[in-house]
Amino acid sequence: MGCASSVYALGRKKKAIIPEVVVFVPSVRIPVQSDLQTPLKALIPRELLDRLASLRNQIVFVAQDTDGSAITELRRALEDYLSLSLGLTKKEFGLVDLVDFKWKNLEDGKQESCIANSWFELLSVVHMMAMLTLSEANSLLIPKDYSGSGVRVVSSDCKRDAVELLLKASGYLEFCVKNVLVHIPPDIKKKFPKDFQDGVLEAISIQALGQGTEIQLGLAVESQKATLSVKRRLACELLIYFSQLILLLITSVFLLVSDQAYQCLSGCDMNYTPGKKHLWFIKWKFLESKAAAYYYHGLILDKGNEPSCHVSAVCCFLAAEELLCESKKAYLSFCLAAPITRSPPLWGAMKHLHEKIPEVASRKSQMYGYLLEEEKALQTLPELPDFQPSLRPDDYELPEIDQAWNIEKWEMQSQTLKAHLIDCENDIETE
């Protein structure tokens, strides 16, 4: 869990390693062999039933016995199974609650859920597609060839491709929240694993957008054409996404930064090991994003001619420096929280900020020290500008239901079988 590379070991026991995290991926959940034949026998055509069982077993086998290189194969099998299993959710067939669908957490291998609901099966399939997509985004941001210098070099193309994957994964999860959970009765939801709660799914969707924005900020930092206003906007948008996560997930006063307490509300239970690690990740990224927003806002304020502009700018730089120090503590807590993970060397926007913020804060506070003394009344942290976040989840739609669910074909098969039986009876009589 907690690390995209958890998918790299899809079920196979390997030498213990500490996985690297760029994109945070919750625990991947994989299907466990389930009996489809007994409850569905004689209710749907034998050929359709065999295809359903075969495709699901294929996913089980690949997930348990391959590593991360099987992501493409898994995605293809999941898409094929999704199209075929859609029929199980249709009311007209009356099959919604007949099969006990079993899924387990890949990380610990324990069977977490066995739920007789076809919408739960659909939810689990789309969720797995989202986790694989996040995992693929993570792998794009981890170079396969290490220079040994400790410097992380990721191509712009890989970064852009990773952003597209993050938007795609966000779309999968948004679809789960808005179009799948609504079909599942409350008594069934009570049986769900904790990482399938509405709030958790929504949080991962928002988080993917936030990490996509962070990559965009890094691209802007590297671009000579990107203006300071563009960088500030991206930094503020990044903060907005992680502020939404704070409000969504945390149940108590969670952060104490610059003598301010951030009261946070939540309707979902994160009091389990993977959830706790997730909270540390959000806190870490929230602090980093707020430091970035204040830093770029300070640079723009510092361009003003009034003494108050320089005082406000220095306040921003000092706040950014303090937030950055707090983020380092949260980062360490995240890495040490079970299961232990490691993050890559500083890269992208955060590498730039960790270098620039302390230097600018020190230089500007010395330069305008006399103003800070003279204008003590102006030493208040200015409000950050409010922007509308630009990234949106990709729209996701379910595939067309497989033609094998065409009842007319079932009737034709039934008539053919009936005619065959009559012919057999006639042959017996003739003999």
Q: What local confidence, expressed as pLDDT, does residue 21 receive? A: 80
Question: Per-residue pLDDT averaged across 331-352, rounded?
Answer: 84
* Region for residue 292 given its phi and psi (left: phi exceeds 0; alpha: psi -120 to 50; beta: otherwise): alpha
Given a contact cutoff of 8 angstroms between Cβ atoms, the answer to whether 124 and 31 are in contact is yes
Sequence-distant (≥ 6) Cβ neighbours of residue 130 within 8 angstroms: 169, 172, 173, 176, 204
Question: Per-residue pLDDT averaged across 7-16, rounded?
Answer: 46
Token pair, residue 221, equals 């930092």
Average pLDDT, the chain: 83
pLDDT at residue 113 tops 90: no
Question: Per-residue pLDDT averaged across 57-86, rounded?
Answer: 88
Look at 305 and 39; give whichever has higher pLDDT. Answer: 39
Sequence-distant (≥ 6) Cβ neighbours of residue 428 within 8 angstroms: none
pLDDT at residue 107 tops 60: yes
Q: What local confidence, expressed as pLDDT, does residue 16 receive? A: 53
pLDDT band at 146; cut points 50, 70, 90: low
Tell me the domain boundaries of the chain.
Answer: 197-393
Ranked by mean pLDDT, the top range of 26-30, 199-203, 232-236, 336-340 is 232-236
Look at 81 and 376; give whichever has higher pLDDT. Answer: 81
Q: What local confidence, expressed as pLDDT, does residue 110 receive? A: 67
Q: 134: burial class by Cβ within 10 Å (0-12, 13-18, 19+)?
A: buried
Given a contact cutoff of 8 angstroms between Cβ atoms, the answer to whether 73 and 66 are in contact is yes
Q: What local confidence, expressed as pLDDT, does residue 28 receive? A: 86
Over residues 392-421, the pLDDT tens digits come to 999 999 999 999 998 877 765 544 444 433
Percent of the chain with pLDDT over 70: 79
Look at 252 and 144; give whichever has higher pLDDT. Answer: 144
pLDDT band at 12; cut points 50, 70, 90: very low
pLDDT at residue 309 tops 80: yes
3-state secondary structure string across the chain: CCCHHHHHHCCCCCCCCCCECCCCCCCCEEEECCCCHHHHCCCCCHHHHHHHHHHHHHHHHHHHHCCHHHHHHHHHHHHHHHHHHHHHHCHHHCCCCCCCEEEEECCCCCEEEEECCHHHHHHHHHHHHHHHHHHHHHHHCCCCCCCCCCCCCCCHHHHHHHHHHHHHHHHHHHHHHHHHHHHCCHHHHCCCCHHHCHHHHHHHHHHHHHHHHHHHHHHHHHCCCCCHHHHHHHHHHHHHHHHHHHHHHCCCCCEEECCEEECCCCCCCCCCHHHHHHHHHHHHHHHHHHHHHHHHHHHHHCCCCCHHHHHHHHHHHHHHHHHHHHHHHHHHHHHHCCCCCECCCCCHHHHHHHHHHHHHHHHHHHHCHHHHHHCHHHCCCCCCCCCCCCCCCCCCCCCCCCHHHCHHHHHHHHHHHHHHHHHHHHHHHHC
339 preceded by cis ω (within 30°)?
yes
pLDDT at residue 370 tops 90: no
Q: Which of the listed CATH numbers 1.25.40.280, 1.10.150.120, 3.30.420.40, 1.20.810.10 matches domain 197-393?
A: 1.25.40.280
pLDDT band at 48; cut points 50, 70, 90: very high
User: Over the Cα atoms of the chain, what is R_g?
Assistant: 27
Over residues 200-218, the pLDDT tens digits come to 899 999 999 999 999 999 9
Q: What local confidence, expressed as pLDDT, does residue 10 receive? A: 44
Token pair, residue 110, equals 């324990």
- pTM score of the predicted model: 0.84
Lowest average pLDDT, out of 47-51, 148-152, 200-204, goes to: 148-152
Q: What local confidence, expressed as pLDDT, does residue 265 receive? A: 31
Question: Per-residue pLDDT averaged across 82-99, rounded?
Answer: 95
Q: What local confidence, expressed as pLDDT, does residue 249 receive? A: 65
Question: Per-residue pLDDT averaged across 129-140, rounded?
Answer: 94
pLDDT at residue 87 tops 80: yes
